[in-house]
Structure 1
Amino acid sequence: MNLVPVSVSDYRRIAERKLPRFLFDYVDGGAYGEVTLARNVADFAGISPRQRVMRDVSSVDTSASLAGTDCAIPLALAPVGMGGMLARRAEIQAKRAADAAGVPFTLSTVSICSLEEVAEVSDRPFWFQLYMLRDRGVVTEILNRAWSVGVRTLVFTVDLAVVGERYRDVRNGIAGGASTWGRLRAGPLSYLSHPRWLWDVGLKGKPHTFGNLASYVPAATNPTQYRDWVGRQFDASVTWKDIAWLREQWQGQLIIKGVLSPEDGIAAAQAGADAVVVSNHGGRQLDGVASSVSTLPRVREAVPEQVSVLMDGGVRCGLDVFRAVALGADGVMIGRPWAYAVAARGEAGVRGLLEAFAREMSVALALCGVTSVAEVSRDLLILDNDRH
């Protein structure tokens, strides 16, 4: 394929061709009938920028600050589980690209590369995402490891008390339930039909362990076995009191990811969060819930002003970043976009993607007649209900 990728959909097309089917579906899919997955993207389309002309926009500044981190654009790379299965040591490649673009990279608990390996990329701090595991001793130890390698911003995911039903993962055998033929087709046969991936990632990209968890699951030898252990560690009894405990353990910035209601945004702030991420887990948990962008304004209005508000889910271009900021977000996180890009073109793909987001954000600012992120407001949008 000679496609020169520019948009997220371009990178997605290339990633679909390059990846074994089960891995592409793992990244691309959502819960149940994937209604919320589609809604996340579609609801951005109903938000029109209000174009303004004849303004001096000769100098446009897209820089911002997210949860105490200075960024070239108001965007951070979201945590992507099993990222290192998409490209050889993909988390390393993505961190390098994020450093070059001047935006934060967030490492997942269930990444292939470990905290220590990612920290070796550069002295630029990265963010780390964690779940509340049943074994609080493991949680405390991981927090200490993160702090020791320079992590000062913790992204704590709260919408995984149970794992959503993801039909694609069941069909492909990742979540169990597939027939012997289905597992064979998703595993060995899929690998053999993608020889470049098999050589570059399957063989040269080893080890395929969850780097942050290897010492806690020494008998595990592949991502599926680690996923099983993590699944058993998810704690459905967690409440906001546990977040208050976490706040006592963690001295850096604390971002609570997975808020989808004003009430939960307020509770997160009361538990000590410095920021919240309005998120439905990319449509991968409870299908049919509202899109993140439609929920964003109510959460922003509800939480205290000193608490930063980010959002993720459906962000596919720099114009979407502009839309989110205009609706009250301090910035956004992107997961699938960088996952597609790293699968398609490695570090160069993620760099290209982030450069495109920066250009598009700059154009949106200029053509709406403003020269900085601080000037972006709700007045620069026309929503569907404004047209009636």
Structure 2
Amino acid sequence: MLPAVEDYRALARQRLTRFAFDYLDGGAEDGRTLSRNRAAYEQLIFQPRVLRDVTRVDAAVQVCGETLAMPAVVGPTGLNGLYWPRAEEVLARAAHAAGLPFAVSTASTSLLESVRAATDGALWLQLYVQQDRRIAEDMMRRARALGFSTLMLTVDTMVHGKRDHDVRNGFRMPLRLTPKLLLDLAMHPRWCARMLRQGGSPQLVNLARSAGVKAQLQAQAAAMSRQMDMSLDWAAVAWLRRHWQGPVLLKGVLSVDDARTARRLGVDGVVLSNHGGRQLESAPSPLEILPEVVDAVGTGLDVFVDGGIRRGSDIAKARALGAKAVLLGRAPLYGLAAQGPQGVADVLQMLRDEFEITLRLLGVPRAVDLDGDALSADHRARLARL
């Protein structure tokens, strides 16, 4: 096991092609939102208590009717086949071995059916909605039949954010062979060999199956990018309820008013998210707005956060500010790209170990008891100054 998530990131950078690593690691435009996500965690200071019995630590929490071994969910992330063959199956098995749910993206490169066949653990579905809502309806139907428990509707991708790194690299799906790309591929023969073993470029197979499009990446990418339903509004909550009987979460909420509306309409939870800094530049960090949202919605809505989690202590900070759990996006993918299945398992174990160390050093042996008392009294002021 490497010392930290950052070490897996560094190794992933070596082993991935430039365009694949930039797609994983980069943010929108100048990357200010991406940096803001990390800065929010760095600004928070703990207030530990001493002389408390921490012989035993219980990191588990209850979320959406499920017991999580620590306050975290793995995923959702798309195009994971760029980093390792059958990536979703690998991620799901590692998540379940760690006692965590795995959220499968609409933009996954493995079928829902294949992920379910790989593991019997808890699976969640992340949903993008195209103009033809029958595609989303079919995906929900498939997920229900496979026993997926929770639906997560992403609400911040009406259009794709501008990602300068993709433009510089000429990255688009399907890949177009240019001299620059050929040089990039030639410098990463191991990555090319893995892609060839899985049959070439990863495919958006879930979208293809539910959309009924050809097994061609160009057609799949068109269905994903140019046909997003930009008319999606709050009436979509009632539509989702007609097709999904389990918990429904909205991912991409960044305002108190939207959280209040979600609670009023009977949504089970919200994920405070700026899409990992990949959509709107100069958006707030989810951690910045977490205390205000939790104060506003009380106990009537489960609140999650994502973006910038690199340490178990980051998970503790989010939980102390009122989050039910965090979503782990890039961190497990760094492990995947660096060392495959073992890398994912190591990253999740590392985060669990760090989280439990943090609980002991804070003098809070149970994750369910972690609250704002574990943070310095001026923690909100620190966030406000970002």
The reply to whether TM is greater than 0.5 is: yes
Tell me how far apart the structure 2 counterparts of residues 262 and 233 of structure 1 sit (CA, whole Å).
Answer: 29
Matches within 5 A, 1:1-388: 5-175=2-172, 183-186=178-181, 188-204=182-198, 208-215=202-209, 216=211, 218-222=213-217, 225-382=219-376, 383-384=378-379
Q: Which string of whole-angstrom CA distances, capped at 9 and with x for unpartnered residues, describes residues 47-105 of structure 1?
A: 11112211110001000122222110010012111001211111111111101100011
Tell me how far apart the structure 2 counterparts of residues 184 and 301 of structure 1 sit (CA, whole Å).
Answer: 54
Tell me how far apart the structure 2 counterparts of residues 225 and 194 of structure 1 sit (CA, whole Å).
Answer: 27
Q: Per the alignment, do residues 81 and 304 of structure 1 end up closer, same or farther by CA in structure 2, a change over 3 Å counting? A: same
CA deviation after TM superposition for structure 1 residue 227, in Å? 2.3
CA deviation after TM superposition for structure 1 residue 161, in Å? 1.1
TM-score, structure 1 normalization: 0.93
Counterpart residue identity of residue 247, structure 1: R
**Are the equivalent residues in 1 in contact too, given 2:82–2:201 (CA < 8 A)?**
no
Please give the secondary structure, in 1, of the residue aligned with 2:235: helix
**Are the equivalent residues in 2 in contact too, given 1:217–1:226 (CA < 8 A)?**
no
Q: Tell me which moved more, 376-385 or 96-105.
A: 376-385
**Are the equivalent residues in 1 in contact too, given 2:130–2:223 (CA < 8 A)?**
no
**Are the equivalent residues in 2 in contact too, given 1:247–1:272 (CA < 8 A)?**
no
Q: What is the total number of aligned residue pairs between the two structures?
A: 380
**Are the equivalent residues in 1 in contact too, given 2:263–2:300 (CA < 8 A)?**
no
**Are the equivalent residues in 2 in contact too, given 1:134–1:233 (CA < 8 A)?**
yes
Q: Per the alignment, do residues 7 and 217 of structure 1 end up closer, same or farther by CA in structure 2, a change over 3 Å counting? A: farther
Give structure 1 stretches of 5+ with no counterpart. none
Tell me how far apart the structure 1 counterparts of residues 94 and 312 of structure 2 sit (CA, whole Å).
Answer: 17
Q: Per the alignment, do residues 193 and 217 of structure 1 end up closer, same or farther by CA in structure 2, a change over 3 Å counting? A: farther
Tell me how far apart the structure 2 counterparts of residues 381 and 160 of structure 1 sit (CA, whole Å).
Answer: 33
Q: Which string of whole-angstrom CA distances, capped at 9 and with x for unpartnered residues, describes residues 18-54 of structure 1?
A: 1111111011111111101001001111111112211
**Are the equivalent residues in 2 in contact too, given 1:317–1:357 (CA < 8 A)?**
yes
Please give the secondary structure, in 1, of the residue aligned with 2:326: strand
Tell me how far apart the structure 1 counterparts of residues 379 and 292 of structure 2 sit (CA, whole Å).
Answer: 17
Q: Per the alignment, do residues 246 and 196 of structure 1 end up closer, same or farther by CA in structure 2, a change over 3 Å counting? A: same
**Are the equivalent residues in 1 in contact too, given 2:103–2:126 (CA < 8 A)?**
yes
**Are the equivalent residues in 1 in contact too, given 2:319–2:370 (CA < 8 A)?**
yes
Q: Per the alignment, do residues 49 and 22 of structure 1 end up closer, same or farther by CA in structure 2, a change over 3 Å counting? A: same
CA deviation after TM superposition for structure 1 residue 384, in Å? 4.9
CA deviation after TM superposition for structure 1 residue 249, in Å? 1.6
RMSD of aligned Cα (Å): 1.9
CA deviation after TM superposition for structure 1 residue 225, in Å? 4.5
**Are the equivalent residues in 1 in contact too, given 2:213–2:220 (CA < 8 A)?**
no
Tell me how far apart the structure 2 counterparts of residues 218 and 191 of structure 1 sit (CA, whole Å).
Answer: 29
Tell me how far apart the structure 2 counterparts of residues 278 and 385 of structure 1 sit (CA, whole Å).
Answer: 17
Aligned sequence identity (%): 39
**Are the equivalent residues in 1 in contact too, given 2:122–2:148 (CA < 8 A)?**
yes
Counterpart residue identity of residue 72, structure 2: L
Tell me how far apart the structure 2 counterparts of residues 77 and 205 of structure 1 sit (CA, whole Å).
Answer: 26
Q: Which string of whole-angstrom CA distances, capped at 9 and with x for unpartnered residues, describes residues 181-233 of structure 1?
A: 8x4423x33222211111123333657211212232533523x5422321112
Please give the secondary structure, in 2, of the residue aligned with 1:48: coil
Q: Per the alignment, do residues 345 and 26 of structure 1 end up closer, same or farther by CA in structure 2, a change over 3 Å counting? A: same
Give structure 2 stretches of 5+ with no counterpart. none
**Are the equivalent residues in 2 in contact too, given 1:87–1:205 (CA < 8 A)?**
no
